[in-house]
Amino acid sequence: MIKKIRKMVIMIFVAVLLFTNCCFASSVAESQLAKGTENLIKDLTNWLLILAPVLTACLVGYYLLRKSASDDMDTKRWDNRIKIAVISCIGVVIASGLINVIIGYYR
């Protein structure tokens, strides 16, 4: 079942890709839709660069508070959650910066 769904998703993606290449090949870069999408992605990645560290700081503070009130077994769990939050923040910041670099390359 999963293979059929994956195959259908790939077929739809290829069809959309071919359709957009055939119909809009000459004026995609100059279209309002392309410029608006580029600006939207740029704004979202800039907001991610701001929100990810702030949210991570809030989560780590909450996890440290919960860790201080827990027993030995739960302490390991909260330590693991703190590590995951910090690694996720680093991943979001790197991905956001990479997307900004890629978009800046096409300007």
DSSP string of 92-106? HHHHHHHHHHHHHHT
Q: In whole angstroms, give the CA distance from residue 37 to residue 41.
A: 6
Provide the H-helix boundaries in the chain.
2-24, 32-68, 72-105
Q: Summarize pLDDT for 63-73 with one digit per residue, the tens.
A: 999 999 888 88
Please tell me the least confidently modeled range out of 15-19, 31-35, 59-63, 99-103.
Answer: 15-19
Q: Are residues 68 and 100 in the same domain?
A: yes
Q: Are residues 20 and 38 in the same domain?
A: no
Q: Are residues 13 and 58 in the same domain?
A: no
Please give the mean pLDDT across all residues of the chain.
Answer: 82
Q: In whole angstroms, give the CA distance from residue 80 to residue 37.
A: 37
Q: Are residues 65 and 95 in the same domain?
A: yes
Note if the pTM is more than 0.85: no
Confidence class for position 91, pLDDT limits 50, 70, 90: very high
Domain that includes residue 7, residue range: 1-29
Q: What is the pLDDT of residue 36?
A: 81
Q: Are residues 24 and 40 in the same domain?
A: no
